[in-house]
Amino acid sequence: MTKAITLAISLIAAPASADWQINMNQGVTALSREIFDLHMLIFWICVVIGVAVFGVMFYSIFKFRKSKGAVAEHWHENTTVEVVWTVIPSIILIAMAIPATATLMDMYDTSEADVEIQVTGHQWKWRYQYLDEDIDFFSNLATSRQEITNEAAKNPNYLLEVDNPLVIPANKKVRFLITANDVIHSWWVPHFAVKKDAIPGFINESWVKVEEPGVYRGQCTELCGKDHGFMPIVVEVKSEADYQQWVSDQRAMKLAMAGEASKEFSMNELVAKGEGVYNTACAGCHQPNGQGIPGAFPAITGSTIATGAIDTHVDIIINGKSGTAMQAFREQLSAVDIAAVVTYQRNALGNSVGDLVQPNTIKN
């Protein structure tokens, strides 16, 4: 026992950068603070009731011991007392329900929003579409494989970092339209107190109005398959001016990417670029070494598609394969990315077909 405790203490002290947060985040919106206050109110009510009940219980345990000569009394019911301890908790519950209902009504506010973003859960990434801005991108986990498998030191935002964060303006009502592509996911940012299930075929909504610019992190909270733990959410809240700047940068980037698609690439360029695309978009299922998971996800190495006709290979990546977990990557990857990843899969991971495909021949 003592051994176990010393072991426990030494082990607990080990991880370096952990903290001892024990309570809910107050968050950064009026609503999240309202919810926090409600949480604390209920908590303290529970503490008071707990102290009273356990107080009487421990008093009985110490006072009415047989070893101290206590003799049991014979009463075993008392209607008055029983009515009292039925009625008082009921009153306390009503007292709890009133502020809770008020907060709930604030959450269901349906007034018009300034920015509207469609959030779609995919296995295992998020897609953000800005409905009025023609901005559309996927947000993937950015933590490196080495950090996850303990081959590299973990950075402070381990598992809570993405390649493309969601960007929203401060002090504007942002409305999220939440849905899913495959299975049920749930979009949660603790600091916003926003958590809503993303359900395939159906749409849900939630909203947020953040006062201070900053970076806020969350995670998927509905079990959605293998990499449920690896699809974080990062939201960058920017001032109005910075947000507008970001929007125009996004447009410029889109133009630049379109230009890139008409360029000719060498085999080495494509393979190098393809490796990055593969690790973000494919390795989750087909595994970093291309071996897949038998019975669940097929291997790329030696696969008839990755070593067969190149057009079929491109087609399955663009259009997916219905009835399987293979998604259509048309909207997720640019023409350059598709060309790169196809070329990579054919000439790496143990395959050596020797051919390549240029982005300009990939027509969406």
C-beta of 66 vs 354, nearer to another protein: 66
Supply the minimum distance, in Å, between the C-beta of residue 272 and another protein: 27
Helix (H, G, I), strand (E, B) or coil at 159: coil
Residue 325 phi, psi (nearest 5): -80, -5
What residue has token string 């690790």? 279
30-63 vs 79-107: helix crossing angle, rounded to 10: 160
**CA–CA separation, 245 and 47 (whole Å):** 49
Cα distance from N-terminal residue to C-terminal residue, the chain: 65
C-beta of 178 vs 300, nearer to another protein: 178
Supply the minimum distance, in Å, between the C-beta of residue 87 and another protein: 9
CA geometry: angle 181, 194, 248, nearest 5 deg: 70
Indicate the residue type of 112.
Answer: E
Supply the minimum distance, in Å, between the C-beta of residue 239 and another protein: 25
Question: What is the Cα 323 distance to its own chain's centre?
Answer: 25
335-347 vs 267-277: helix crossing angle, rounded to 10: 100
Supply the minimum distance, in Å, between the C-beta of residue 35 and another protein: 5
Supply the minimum distance, in Å, between the C-beta of residue 212 and another protein: 18
C-beta of 41 vs 257, nearer to another protein: 41
C-beta of 34 vs 236, nearer to another protein: 34
C-beta of 223 vs 267, nearer to another protein: 223
DSSP assigned state of 153: P
Supply the minimum distance, in Å, between the C-beta of residue 307 and another protein: 21
C-beta of 297 vs 344, nearer to another protein: 297
Buried b (16+ CB within 10 A) or exposed e, 1-30: eeeeeeeeeeeeeeeeeeeeeeeeebbbbe
